[in-house]
Amino acid sequence: MQFASGSVRSLWSKGAEDLVRLLSAGARRARISALKPEKQSWERSLWLLLDQLVADGFGDVHVLAERRLPYSSGRIDVVLCGLHPEDRVPSYVLVELKQWTDVVPAGEGLAKYGSSDETWLDPLEQVTQYRRYLLDFVPSLARCPDMVHAFAYLHNEEAGEAHPLARDSGDAYTELFFKDQRVKLMARLAGLLDRAPGLAGAAERTALALASAVAAPSGPLLWVAGQEIRRRDRFVLLDEQQTAFMMVRRELDDPDEAGRKKVIVVIGGPGSGKSALALSLLDTLAHQRRRVMHATGSKAFTESLRTVTTRETGRAENLFKYFFDFHRQGENELDVLLCDEAHRIRDVDTGIGNQVDALIRVARVPVFLLDEHQAVRHNEIGTVDKIAKAAARNACELVKIRLDGQFRYGGSALYDEWVLRLLGLTDKAPVAWSDLVAGQDDDFAVRYKPTPQAMEDWLLSQEKNFTGIARIAAGFCWSWTDPENGELEDDVKIGDWHRPWNVKQKFKVDGAPSASHWSFGDHGFGQVGCVYTAQGFEYDWAGVIFGGDLVVRRGTWQARPGESRDRGAFSGLRGSPSVVEQSAARLILNSYKVLLTRALRGVCVYSVDDETAAYLREYAR
């Protein structure tokens, strides 16, 4: 999809103001709000480029303006489409336009401009990534990569004799041009796009070929990604994991004779091997050149998967997407879509139904991996019931597989039972950990500590004496301020014990990992994680602080949403006061279940509330 399409001459002839209106209408059709800076860039940058192209004889070249990248919210400013002047094959030039001035490097692949301290991707690096991404997801282009070139054009910045940003891109397909290099830019375009009159129709057909091209992971991407994922330790799948694995393979190789699509739902608690199954499928299917992708609703989880599974080229990261990246894709564009952490699927209108409908529609075999006890916001609808209803709406058959194995907590299935009983999420009464494991060969450690400092000391001792990674996470009961002057604020205050939350998304703090890497990055201990940075991850030793949003009164849990600072989790709840209270209680209980089930080897609990602390002390012995 693009906001506007037409020959250079036709778009230029509209004038700058009408061009902005045309693009704004295209943005509305794409359900995107065009902000003032973006409209200014169309008027000042795109209009300038069109004017220069007309003056240099490129009027018949076709333009795709604000072309969206497949399975991404990213957009290319301009794609120039035409024929190569030598052999008359399709030729495409991606152009990233920048109004920047006073541009300076800010580290490898980064830049700053003007008086701002904000760091941006180097424009040459940006267009290089755009080109690579387009080749990764348009197989017809991947077969002929020399048809695609990419230029960054800083049309307000003089290169002078030696601009600090000027450098060789390292390949023959991407280049950077400055204001005083307009002649050079036009000469390069003349070597890639035929300017002969009468080629407007042919140029339009090349644009249509790109606009209508099937979007799917290309063979080169799948090969590279499969190699990178396989460099990890290979996953051994057991019992129900292997059943689910084989069922997905069977549906691809031997589909229903009636052509009825199957929607596979894999249900399992924390540590049951859902993500291992998803990555094993991704590995195997990528090696078979199947059109496969992985999606989640968690930024921290997705970014970490991209980091952990990408080592050499960085290209495997393109297979890890977000649920909302599939709202505008065509039917069955993928062979398999692996929806990991599917309990995070949101209740949003995609234009073709809700998010579940969109995810089912995009793949021949959609796979949802979920734990219904991990939904922590009111608009998360990834339940078996909601997926079953969406499958029925889309005339699909639902297949349910339960993963009952336990691959976390040192293989302790008893710990999962202990958590469910402790939080009242099962019909069984709570039980002391020591009683539950009596006579069992189970070395998972469960402890209660009377202060957060004692908890911290226990975790550090476990790290020192038994190795591994320790982290403390808490209920979202304290404010979370932005870092000032590059330092974290000690927001979580309990008596004399003060600690900061982990680094917020989109912020960087020296000496602390990003939000996406808090669970395993260096120096993550000493910051308190929340449910959004802990969910989907695991670490050896877990400390869990119960805040005032969940307390025990006379042996029964009571949720107190008013004590939570996570307003977005409850603000959309509807119904009578009792219904809202019950829904909020379920979400809060689920969030603590997530925090309690991150540990591989041991957990330590603490509560700010005295009666709750006594309850935890009784059952964590």
User: pLDDT category, 151, cuts 50, 70, 90?
Assistant: very high
Q: Which long-range CB contacts under 8 A does 612-617 form with residues at least 24 apart? A: 612/546, 612/550, 612/551, 612/552, 613/448, 613/450, 614/552, 615/552, 615/555, 616/448, 616/546, 617/448, 617/450
First-residue to last-residue Cα distance in the chain: 59
Backbone angles phi, psi at 110, to 5 degrees: -125, 160
The counts of H helices and E strands in the chain are 20, 24
Q: Is the pLDDT of residue 236 over 60?
A: no
Confidence (pLDDT) at 239: 57
Same domain, 107 and 255: no
Same domain, 477 and 397: no
In eight-state DSSP terms, residue 314 is S
Q: Which of 211, 236, 264 is the last residue of a domain?
A: 211
Same domain, 427 and 562: yes
User: pLDDT category, 233, cuts 50, 70, 90?
Assistant: very low
Confidence (pLDDT) at 495: 95
3-state secondary structure of 108: coil
In eight-state DSSP terms, residue 214 is P
3-state secondary structure of 559: strand
Q: Which of 620, 617, 619 is nearest to 450 (CA)?
A: 617
Mean local confidence (pLDDT), 80-86: 95
Q: Which of 211, 242, 276 is the last residue of a domain?
A: 211
Same domain, 283 and 427: no
Write out pLDDT tens, residues 343-361.
Answer: 889 888 777 788 999 999 9
CB neighbours of 225 closer than 8 A, spacing ≥ 6? Answer: 217, 282, 286, 315, 316, 318, 319
Q: Which of 372, 367, 368, 398 is nearest to 383 (CA)?
A: 372
Same domain, 592 and 452: yes
Write out pLDDT tens, residues 569-582.
Answer: 776 677 777 777 78
Write out pLDDT tens, residues 594-618.
Answer: 999 988 888 999 999 999 999 999 9
Q: Which parts of 212-296 fold into alpha helices (H)?
A: 219-230, 239-253, 274-287
What does the block give as tokens for 569? 């989790």
From CA 331, how far away is CA 367, in angstroms rounded?
15
Mean local confidence (pLDDT), 203-211: 95
CATH number at residue 502: 3.40.50
DSSP H or E run through 110: strand 110-112
Instruction: State the total domains in the chain.
Output: 3
User: pLDDT category, 567, cuts 50, 70, 90?
Assistant: confident
Same domain, 179 and 232: no
pTM for the complete prediction? 0.61
Looking only at the bridges linking them, the beta strands covering 320-322 and 334-339 are unpaired
Q: Which of 374, 403, 432 is the last residue of a domain?
A: 403
Mean local confidence (pLDDT), 107-116: 83
Same domain, 183 and 225: no
Would you call 330 exposed, middle or buried from its count of C-beta atoms within 10 A (0-12, 13-18, 19+)? exposed
Tell me how crowded residue 236 is: count the other CB atoms within 10 A of its CB. Answer: 11
Same domain, 368 and 517: no
Confidence (pLDDT) at 230: 58
Same domain, 433 and 371: no
Rounded to the nearest integer, the mean pLDDT of the chain is 86
What does the block give as tokens for 182? 């307009």
Confidence (pLDDT) at 409: 47
Write out pLDDT tens, residues 67-81.
Answer: 988 887 789 999 999
Same domain, 359 and 383: yes
Instruction: Give the amino acid at 566.
Output: D
Same domain, 578 and 480: yes
CATH number at residue 300: 3.40.50.300
What range defines the domain where residue 122 resides?
A: 4-211
Largest CA distance in the chain: 87
Question: For residues 344 and 382, is the Cβ–Cβ distance under 8 A?
Answer: yes
Same domain, 189 and 40: yes
